[in-house]
Amino acid sequence: MAERRNEQKVVPTFEVAARRVHESHSKAFRNAKHKAQGINSLIEHVFPVFGDRRVDQIESADVLKALSPIWLEIPETARRVRQRMKAVFDWAKASGFRAGDNPVEGIAKVLPKQRDAVEHHAALPYDLRVSTRNHGQTIETQRIALVDFAKNRGFEIVEEYADDGISGSKDSRPALDRLMKAAQAKKFDAAIVARFDRFARSTKHLVLALEQFNHLGIDFLSLSESVDTSTPMGKMIFTVLGAVAELERNLIRERVAMGLDRARKQKKTLGRPRSVFDREKAKELHAEGRSLREIAAKLGVNKGTVRAAISAA
């Protein structure tokens, strides 16, 4: 009994304690990816500093040593690391493994003010595309850059949309279509792409997509062009593109109106041209009991045209 009590009083290292806390919170994570993110930041930034030390031996100076290299470099990640360390030390105190104040609270006034003025996006996807599989192009190059960018900004990636081997000249692509549907459902706050031409090959397509994002309140980030519509400069881009889209719509409307006016002056018949086929033959086939589908196939027109011809008899 005495040996068992002594084993229960063994103070864990910070790494052991962190993994226990993480495991106890595992049911709160939405999926395996989010669960991994909860511990990975500690593995990368804290365990190398004092992961092998007992939780009752760690002081505020140690916490400061772990946070200082990343506090200004990747501010959002640093704040999450601080929050997760605090949770571990709170658990250690509640479990009787340490006494006194939480060492994370002792550094609040010591850390410099962060320059992170960009709004945090709680969740976002990223879009990948290569149009030729057989010329050495892969989406992996784009994926690495996008994941690193999201990681450095402290973003949470919720989905990857990748069109592998599909031409970008098409406005409709499987992964792109899924991304736009997810945007309509407000499943993310922002979208990241490697370059504009990986997302859209035509200016018109880009303008229409960004206008839709703007309407939905979704930010758009492009790494190559350094465009981030969550910033004041980026919001200006949304405004300019919206004006371009409106101008294009007005020009199209004006051209259509001019064309209709010219056609009327030339006394041309407006509307869909009449289908040329043997209407009497259609009536004969119908009298024989043939279906509209069969008659349409035989005469080379659609069912609606056959129906209209028979009804006019």
Average pLDDT over residues 244-260: 81
What pLDDT score does 132 carry?
Answer: 42
Residue 308 confidence (pLDDT) above 70? yes
Domain ranges of the chain: 10-107, 130-244, 279-311
What pLDDT score does 47 carry?
Answer: 95
pLDDT in tens, 23-56: 888 776 666 666 777 788 899 999 999 999 999 9
Fold match between 10-107 and 130-244? no
What pLDDT score does 241 carry?
Answer: 67
What amino acid positions are annotated as catalytic residues? 131
130 Rama sector, left if φ>0, alpha if ψ -120 to 50, beta otherwise: beta
What pLDDT score does 273 carry?
Answer: 66
Q: How big is the chain, counted in residues?
A: 313
pLDDT band at 170 (very low <50, low <70, confident <90, very high): low
Residues in Cβ contact with 81 at an 8 Å cutoff, skipping those fewer than 6 apart = 41, 42, 45, 46, 66, 67, 70
> pTM here?
0.40
Residue 66 confidence (pLDDT) above 80? yes
Residue 6 confidence (pLDDT) above 70? no
Instruction: For the beta carbon of residue 301, count every other beta carbon within 10 angstroms.
Output: 19
pLDDT in tens, 175-212: 778 888 888 888 888 888 877 766 766 667 777 787 78
Secondary structure of residue 50 in the 3-state scheme: helix
pLDDT band at 82 (very low <50, low <70, confident <90, very high): very high
Instruction: For the beta carbon of residue 37, count every other beta carbon within 10 angstroms.
Output: 14
CA dihedral 156, 159, 163, 169 (to 10 degrees): -70
Which of 139, 186, 134, 145 is closest to 163 using CA atoms? 139
Could you please state the CATH topology (level 3) that the domain comprising 10-107 is classified under: DNA polymerase; domain 1 (1.10.150)
Residue 92 confidence (pLDDT) above 70? yes
Q: Strands of 219-222's sheet, edge to edge?
A: 157-164, 124-130, 190-193, 219-222, 227-228
CATH superfamily of 130-244: Resolvase, N-terminal catalytic domain (3.40.50.1390)
What pLDDT score does 29 carry?
Answer: 64
Average pLDDT over residues 144-155: 80
Average pLDDT over residues 81-89: 93
